[in-house]
Structure formats: C-alpha cells, structure tokens
Structure 1
Amino acid sequence: MNIILSKSAKARKQRLFRVQTDLETALKSDKQLDRIWFWKNETLVLEYSTSYGVKYAFDINCTAQGYDLQIVGRGDPSRYAVRQRIGVISKAVKGHPNRLLESWPLDVNIRTLVLELVTGIHRAQSLMSVVQEHPDRYVPGYWWDQQSNFGDQIGPWLIEMITGRPAFNTIALPNAGHAVMTAGSIITGMNRPGMSVWGSGLIAPLDATTTQRLKSRPPLTIRAVRGELTRAELVENLGWDVPELFGDPALLLSAFYRPHELAPGELRPAVVPHYARRRLFEGHSERSDFDIIDVRKSPEVVVAQIANASAIASTSLHGLIIAQAYGVPWIRLRISDKHLVGQDFKFEDFYSTINRDQVAEVSLRQSDVSNADLREILNSASLPDSRYDVASLIRAFPSAEIPQLPGDYAPYGAQNGASHREFTTD
C-alpha cells in the first residue's frame, strides 16, 4: 500500500490529518486498499480495487459544515457497480457521480469518527468485494442501464425469451469475459474484447480515439449489426469481419411478444418522446386525442402501448423500431436545435434496413413543440417496407457461444407460443 502524506494549516485539516493516521493503522491489513492521498488538502481519498476489475474510492471530506464519507467509481463501469451495489445504503450527491454514505458534525470526537468511518468503509467494501452470484443458467449479457429507458431493456428481454433463461448484465464487470451484446448503440463504449455482437450499433461515426480503443477490444464474433452504417465503420476503420446481416433485435419482438390487443375502435395515436426530450412535450399531456408514452416504464408496458397505437410520432429511435416491428405507421420527430448524441447516425443506420424513401420525418424547434399540432403530424405517419429478414436474424442469435444446460434450454419463442420451426425451416 502506497501512503501519500499531506499537511494542512487549518485546524479542521489537522483533524483530517489525524484521521488519516488512525485509518492507516485500522486498514493496514486491507489488501484491496491501493493507496491513501489528499485531494486539495480537504479530502482524504482511499483508492480501492476489486479482483473483478472494478475500481472505486472513498472520499472523506472536511468542510466548515462537518465531515462526510462518500464513495465514487473510477470510470463508467465502476460507477454503475457502485450504484447497483451501494445504492441501498447511500444517497445520490447532486451534480456528482458520488454516493453519500454518512456525515458528521465538525465537532465529532475523532475516535468516534474513525470508528464509524471504518465501519462504513467495511460495510460498503463488503458489498463491492463480493462478485455477484449467478448460477450457470444465467446468460451473460451486456446492455446500458444508467437511465430508465425501455429501449435499453429490450436486449436482455429478448435474450430471456429466446433462451428461456434469465440475462445477467456484465457491463459493470470489465473482466467478466464473454457476453451477448444486443439492442442499442453499445459497440461504441464496448469495455472489453471477446463478446458476441448481435444487432448492436454505433452511436456515431468512429473518431480516432474510439477507433484506437476498439482495436484492442475485438469481439469474439459478430452475427449481425443494426445497419449498413455501423457495418461500414467497423469494416473500414477496424477491419473487423462483419456479415451483411442487418437489423436491430427489437425488430424481432413481434415474433416473441404478443401484447393484449385493444379493439380497433379503442386505438389512438401516440407520441413517444426520448427520455431526454420528455419535458418538451409536457404541455400536451392532457390531450384527449392522442397519448404520450413514457419510455421510463417497463419494456412490456411501452411495447404494448406502441403496438396498440393507430400511429406513432417519436423522437426515440426504439419508438420507431417497435412501431415498425408491430406494423404501426410512424413518423420521426426531429428536434432541430437540440441534437441527441450522434445526431442522425443511429436513425440513418436503422433506415438502411427499410425503404428510406418511405420514411416520414418532421423537424421542430424546441420552442415550437408545445404549440405544434402533433395530431396533424401523426396523420403523416407511414409504414416503410422492410429490407430486414426476421428469420435470418433469429437464426443468427449466438446460441453456440452460450453454455448450454441439458433440460433447461427453451426453444426460440416457446414462452409466447411461437414455434422454433417457424424460424428455422427453409
């Protein structure tokens, strides 16, 4: 353990220096503690790492208001692990990725402070140190879930419906090895090599930094990608072997999930705002002639709402994809003065799997959304002809890379009455 000593001129910094000394003694046998150091002379930092690749730190802050103990992950995967494992015993720190574990008044007794610091550190460390138990029947997956967004949950949902086994998210485990990557623009942030890509995409064209990073993280196999734009980037910039098989896995949902169907007279058009655009549409929430769908709800609910709409207008990519999958006419709402990350790349990637000439789009400025005639816009929705092959996409699912369990492997679509033969016979 490398101890970096620091001094402080003020009285409360001297007390924090005393805390450092006592913590060094109390934690000297802690093998996961990498080092202790000061940040700006008012935060004592304890750096930790786990056997499965997650790195995090405890921040002990000393301010005029008192002391507090916070935990923060080093990098996105580690921050995800902190939220997942420490969330139940901590509070979010507004504007920061840190989680607040405990706080004390400035006049707290040093002995009491150190005792409670060590207790809090050990409690959090125990949650961070244990590799999550998951039996062999779990399928390792890889999906983004830092936001409550139904589109990010479609991948694991499909894995579970196709295999009959639950999916286990490994995005926070950089050393986890093989996993199945499915729906979403997740290739861009791929954090390790050796995975199976099935219908995933990029968020934007590859820049030099991302290209260099991904070159060291080649996948085990690529079975399909979301669209032609993603394939071109991976082949031309990385030299990866990418088949000419295209389609977002969400396009397959109608083959596996049949939501309750409303009577034709009950169908209404609906608007699907991206979670980052939801506030723009709040002025339309009381409309009686169309619905506003909340993408933060479970995928089953959101998909059922889209499938039971007479038409869809969406700023969300997966709002459009689900509408396409269930044969619901749709139109893309583009907010012209507030671009999503990657701008139009992921949309054009999807459009390469349908008849681009039949795509309906309309652009609105943020200031125009509240007064826009969305009902009239919905009347312009269309259903483009598809160029993707559902059966080929299902056959491309990387089942060969998933450990098989005798007697515990459901055929494709068995949970929803679909026949495996329906997708595999010529």
Structure 2
Amino acid sequence: MLYKIRNLLRRPPPRMPPAIMPHGLPYGHVSLFHWRPADGSVNFGDHLSRIVVARVLGTRGMTLDDEVGQAARLLAIGSILHFAGDGDIVWGSGINGKVPESSFTARRLDIRAVRGPLTEEFLRRRGHAVPMVFGDPALLVRHLFPERFRPTGERPYVFVPNLHDLKLVADSPHVVSPLAGWNTVIAEILKARLVLASSLHGLVIAESFGIPARYVRLSETENLFKYLDYYYGTGRSRFDYATSIPQALEMGGMPSFGFNPGPLLAAFPWDLWL
C-alpha cells in the first residue's frame, strides 16, 4: 500500500465536536449510531447512514423503530469506529485517521463489513475478526433508489466540500453545501459532469452514479486515511489528488471502478431484526 497506517494516524487531531446520539426508544430495538455536529445541523455524509439502513430495511418491510428480541447498536456509514463499544455491530464503517489510536477501545465487535482494507488491517492488528467485505454503504444509494435520482450533466462541475472546508469556498457558485438535505445534495451532485470534493461522500455518491470525481485537498483538517481506505476498498491502488480546484479541473476524474452491490447487501445484519 502507498501509505502505512501508523504514518496516517500520527498527526494529532483538531478538536472535534461531540457526537449526538439519536433519541432512544422505550423498548428493545436496534439503535443506529451516526455522528452529528454539536450545533444540531446535519452533515450529509453521516446522515446517509440513516437513509441507507432505513431503505435496506424497507425492502423487507422493516424499520429502525421495530421492536426486537435483543437490543443492539449498529454502526454503518462514517469514520466512527472510535465510538464503538463492546458488542456493537459494524456494517461498512471505518477508522478515522485523525483520532488517536488510543481512542479505539472496543475489544469485542461483531463485524460484517468495513469501508476498506486500511480499516480491516487496523482492526485485525487488534485481534478482531474481519470478513473481507469492503465498501462504503453510501455506494448503495443508486441501487436503493433506482427511479429517484438521475444524472443530468447540466453543469460542467460542482464542488462538495468537507464540513470543515465549507468556510473556505462558501461563496463559490459551484459549491454544494454538505449541510443541505441529503436528497438535495445528491440531486446537485448529479447535475455535474465532473464532481470535485473534499467531502468523502461527495466522491462516493458521484462515483456510484458513474460521474467522474476527484478528491481536492483544500486543507489539512482531514487525515488521508479515510479517502485511501475507501479508494483501496474499491479495488484501486493509485491515489492522486489535487490541492486546488483549478488543478482538479485539469486532472479530471480519478480512475473509475465497477461496483457489485451484492456482497455488501448480503453482509447486512438482518439477524438483528429476527
């Protein structure tokens, strides 16, 4: 691999706002953990966890509010494994490279899939059994909403910033804010013939719909770990990024890949709802 995990995790993290847990229910259910900004806003990529898991459940007439025999907690989309506790179930989550390794304390996880091989290696080194099922569940959006979203290609490009980069580009007419509703962000991404992003899920959604995309590193706020993890998890090995929007426009999209939703869907933890 091009990068060693220890090097990626070396840089100390910026101060992060706390996670917000969804309100619990007064009976046994599967609680889906996902991160939200402390101010109560909704970050597009993290919120896709609820959208995707709820949609998968809906294919069998189930919901996140169903009462189940054994309460559980599920972690799906997001670089959130440092929030995991013993007994949690993991379906597609990843390690956050800007969080110290010491923040990961779970000793017993039920892992069904992870975002990519860097997360897999991190977990295996700590004694966790990890199946070789890779993929960010946001890649399933196209499969789960086949009639709702369609690429139009009416704009030459858009830029989807990471939440922490938004202030750097907020005045640009090409910017799609990650604080908008999930459906609005996807619809705006699909208007573009090229998607530039420092938002990981801006890249994921664009590539899942076959739109060329390029990672643009506008700041050092985010560690490269999660981008590499996703990229390698799609079977690609060379990762080149731009450091400005003009450079990204010149470079064009990253190499494409073929995505088979079957293994990731087959790894979904249906047994939690039985």
The 2-side partners of 1:311 and 1:299 are apart by: 19
Hey, which of these two has a bigger chunk of helix by percent? 1
1:384 aligns with 2:273: no
Distance 1:334 1:206 in 2: 18
Q: How does 1:392-403 map to 2 (within 5 A)?
A: 392-402=263-273
Note the 1:20-99 alignment, pairs <5 A. Answer: 76=18, 80=20
Question: Could you say which residue in structure 1 is the equivalent of 2:183?
Answer: 300
Change (3 A) 1:308 1:358: farther
- CA displacement at 1:392 relative to structure 2: 0.6
State the Cα distance separating 1:389 from its structure 2 match.
3.5
Deviation of residue 400 (structure 1)?
A: 0.9
The structural deviation recorded for 1:156 is: 1.1
Change in 2 beyond 3 A, CA 1:363/1:355: farther
SS at match of 2:214: strand
- Output the TM-score relative to the length of structure 2: 0.79
2-structure distance, mates of 1:133, 1:210: 28
Please state how far the C-alpha of 1:283 moved relative to its aligned partner.
Answer: 4.2
Q: What is the distance in 1 between the residues matched to 2:232 and 2:258?
A: 8
Q: Larger % of strand: which?
A: 1
Taking a change above 3 Å as real, the CA distance of residues 232 and 263 of structure 1, as seen in their structure-2 partners, is: closer
Alpha-carbon distance, 1:307 to partner = 2.5
Q: Secondary structure at the match of 2:106?
A: helix
How many residues of Structure 1 are paired with residues of Structure 2 in the alignment? 247
Q: Secondary structure at the match of 1:163?
A: helix
| C-alpha deviation, 1:155, in angstroms | 1.1
Larger RCO, structure (CA 8 Å, separation 6 or more)? 2
Give the alignment's TM-score, normalised by structure 1. 0.53
Aligned mates of 1:268, 1:178 — CA distance in 2: 45
Equivalent residue for 2:112? 223
Counterpart CA distance in 2 for 1:271 and 1:243 is 34
**Structure 2: tracts of 5 or more residues without a match:** 1-16
Unaligned 5+ segments in structure 1 are 1-74, 85-130, 169-175, 286-290, 365-371, 405-426
Cα distance in structure 1, aligned partners of 2:199 and 2:18: 23
Cα distance change on mapping 1:134 and 1:327 into 2, 3 Å: farther
1:328 aligned residue? 211
**Distance (Å, rounded) in 1 between the aligned partners of 2:100 and 2:172:** 39
Cα offset, 1:356, TM superposition: 3.6
Distance in 2, Cα, partners of 1:260 & 1:206: 34
- Give 1:232's aligned residue: 121
1:351 counterpart letter in structure 2: Y
Q: Is the 8 A contact 1:154 1:250 kept in 2?
A: yes
* TM-aligned CA distance change 1:361 to 1:383, over 3 Å: closer
Change (3 A) 1:242 1:388: farther
After TM superposition, give the deviation of residue 324 of structure 1 in Å. Answer: 1.1
**Runs of 4+ in structure 1 over 6 Å off:** none
Q: What displacement does 1:383 show? A: 4.7
Partners of 1:195 and 1:328 in 2: CA distance: 34
State the one-letter code of the partner of 1:340.
Answer: T
Give the Å deviation of 1:205: 7.8
Q: Give, as a single letter, the amino acid of the residue that structure 2 aligns with 1:344.
A: L
Pick closer, same or farther for the CA change 1:246–1:325 going to 2, 3 Å. same
